[in-house]
Structure 1
């Protein structure tokens, strides 16, 4: 036999062995029609649907699109086996901004969006929603029943990441976080075993999943409380950005957040925005009862304004309307968050001015868009991992987000946004208003999210991980997300 023939056989043999141990090929063989590769239409469509350019830039070896829980279970068993062990990511809506949050380079990304069913229980008190569904589509299916659920406020927000990381909703001041309203979960564990988790069957994991994100398994179904909902009030008003309107907002919002003025149906956001070389100011006001022009917002609507939206409509239509004001995607994006007790108006004014001064340092960044959102905290019932005071009505949350065009500006934008937030936090801390809690769904990976929830809750997360994921699949093979501190 000639050397060339021997060499050809050896090369062929290596190629065959490589194919045999390729997890993507093995997965395709096991579950045909669910795996896509770079350069294909399905693969490219999945990547292009991520919100941020950071996530779109990652190229997994393949993308797996399961259609049911059994396929997810088969996937987990395969990628944790000795022959095919590989890292993976799990995505739903794909709205988290930072690199690797729900995508991966070279491994396998599980795109859950085909597991998107919405079913009602016989008494219509529970909606069973697939782990890959998006909230706005769920709303549309519930409107004919005059029902809604605790979901996202803009189109395209995935059920999985939103509910497992907390979830801020229109009903946040009446019913807390979205995760506070989940009755049960269907979960594929790191072993590939499928279990149903509720308060009675697995109380430790049930609580850990309420904020614990992707640390314990792949959630393929959420059983959530439905809420009777016909029309709700939605108003979006714009204002001239002046010191006078800022001072009026500082007083109006500080008063709105005082416990004596609490109205559980009233949720809102004050939006300070820098874009296109100018500062903008607007209020979004949502009232979950079928009440036109609720009096609780009078202090805001009486401020001289430029007009806008004001109407009663369904949850589904409100989400569509509000979503028109939010960029549908970003080339580059960075986001930070923090929380505090409601201060007096002078402190709000100082927060506004710190933001205004800081933004001037990145005013020349290509396509810069900076949003400073001030909104009430959900009034939690304590059924989660966050360590917040149940029933407290006067806590406030900041969401600071920057969008821009070029990767070359990453360092500058991140430095400036961090500087703004650090100065705002220092101001609040020096006056006794700052609280430790960091909200996972608005945070950057640089923020110590789980640590902010307190040592006792970290211990609960760690114990649940060791019990339900003893091999650490979701700590070691899923690099994205906020891992449980050792």
Structure 2
């Protein structure tokens, strides 16, 4: 252990005057018995990180700690780590990781904290490595690729790119940050044209478990490159993502409908499923929220009122939340952000996928209504059913050029998300059970109709699910081999 402490000082101490103090501290810890290390670990971790990182290391109880602890989107993820460290370079992340190894302390990576599962972006009494300082956007000279900072939220990434007339196939929710979306595969507005968002990544910079910093792309570490396109954060800490740029000129409209239009909308949705098998530029998001249905229409080209959405145009709607028009991706995401202010809530997600089926859509609507009625006494409850059609063209794009490990079947399908947002922790058990029942109803109906698909989008998966297991046995074994490597 003494040799290890000397190596850490030699490789990672950036201030020579602190080197003797750091080496003494690490040596003292190394000389303790295993039982003493367990007892004293919190003290040594709290002392070591500020020596390496100065004010970038926030210790439990220190000024600035609470705002960082409360960054995660879902309040059930506000846990109490011992240290929150905010590095601003891959070398600093490698240092933080080396210290976590040395002290045998639990650590979590905080990209944006938009998952709703406790323990995924924080932990109790360990170390959180925050990526929030990685906020750069650097375009290549010919504007064909962009280095997108892993600490950026998608709204900010699009704002930077919009000034140069380009975009990337990234996230749709303004507050989601870059790495979490893409490491889970990523749903973008442009999936039909380019596949899942991760297919737009041309290079990852990664800090491995031994603090080595490498690149993964089509020429280097190709097995890792593929694994990162949906294998989640099981292979290292991604510190840089280079993406291929695309046009930022699009058409979009967001309409709000009454629930009484549900039957007409379902019929139009089934027609849309057929239409997108011959047009790879359309995207649609169906959100059934309490007493309304909100549908986002998106087309990856500046075409007014694209004919592919014709089945929806004559259905009476209450209002256009975003009016029909040609705009940029940033304009659309900014419009969503302007009315989508974050609230302090608990959240639950649960997902499934199946072939297009009007029977499944009816089952979802029925189960949603039943559970909403049973939970009407839950303060602040918003229960949302989200339907996201995927054409076989979109899936085939994801399978191109080595593809991803997602194990998707190249058929037309829909990905369904049941989501709940509410105020009080005492309602969690009831709400989670209700969300489970909605998805169970959808899965049972899909299986009866012969259209069930095993894939579960990991960014929407509930804590009791195994999304990686839905990728198929062969993909899972490959991911395990790459993780071990």
Tell me if TM exceeds 0.5: yes
**1:248 aligned to which of 258, 264, 268:** 264
Q: CA deviation at 1:64?
A: 0.3
Does residue 31 of the first structure (1) align with residue 53 of the second (2)?
Answer: yes
Q: CA deviation at 1:37?
A: 2.3
Where does the alignment leave 5 or more consecutive residues of structure 2 unmatched?
1-31
Instruction: Please name the residue that 2:14 is paired with.
Output: none
Instruction: Please name the residue that 1:367 is paired with.
Output: 380
Does residue 387 of the first structure (1) align with residue 407 of the second (2)?
Answer: yes
CA contact (8 A) 1:19 1:25 kept: no
**TM-score, normalization: structure 1?**
0.87
**TM-score, normalization: structure 2?**
0.87
> Structure 1 464/260 Cα, relative in aligned 2: closer, same or farther at 3 Å?
closer
Task: Please list the CA deviations of residues 254-276 of structure 1 after superposition, one character each: whole Å capped at 9, or x if unmatched.
Answer: 110115654222111111112xx
Distance 2:310 2:62 in 1: 54
Distance 2:457 2:71 in 1: 24
Q: CA deviation at 1:287?
A: 1.4
CA contact (8 A) 1:246 1:349 kept: no
Instruction: Please name the residue that 1:168 is paired with.
Output: 187
Does residue 59 of the first structure (1) align with residue 71 of the second (2)?
Answer: no
Distance 2:433 2:280 in 1: 37
Q: How many corresponding residue pairs?
A: 441
CA contact (8 A) 1:342 1:396 kept: yes
The residue matched to 2:54 in structure 1 has which SS?
coil
Q: CA deviation at 1:428?
A: 0.6
Q: Let me know the Cα RMSD of the aligned residues.
A: 2.0
Q: CA deviation at 1:145?
A: 1.9
Does residue 76 of the first structure (1) align with residue 91 of the second (2)?
Answer: no
> Structure 1 302/261 Cα, relative in aligned 2: closer, same or farther at 3 Å?
farther
CA contact (8 A) 1:255 1:261 kept: no
Task: Please list the CA deviations of residues 199-242 of structure 1 after superposition, one character each: whole Å capped at 9, or x if unmatched.
Answer: 22111111111111110100000111111223x22211111211
> Structure 1 351/217 Cα, relative in aligned 2: closer, same or farther at 3 Å?
same
Distance 2:339 2:466 in 1: 30
Instruction: Please name the residue that 2:117 is paired with.
Output: 98
Instruction: Please name the residue that 1:304 is paired with.
Output: 316
CA contact (8 A) 1:370 1:400 kept: yes
The residue matched to 2:202 in structure 1 has which SS?
strand
Give the alignment of 1:208-227 within 5 angstroms.
208-227=227-246
Q: CA deviation at 1:434?
A: 1.0
Higher helix share: 2
Distance 2:83 2:317 in 1: 51
The residue matched to 2:116 in structure 1 has which SS?
coil
Distance 1:32 1:292 in 2: 54
Higher relative contact order (CA 8 A, sep 6+): 1
Distance 2:473 2:112 in 1: 31
Q: CA deviation at 1:365?
A: 1.0
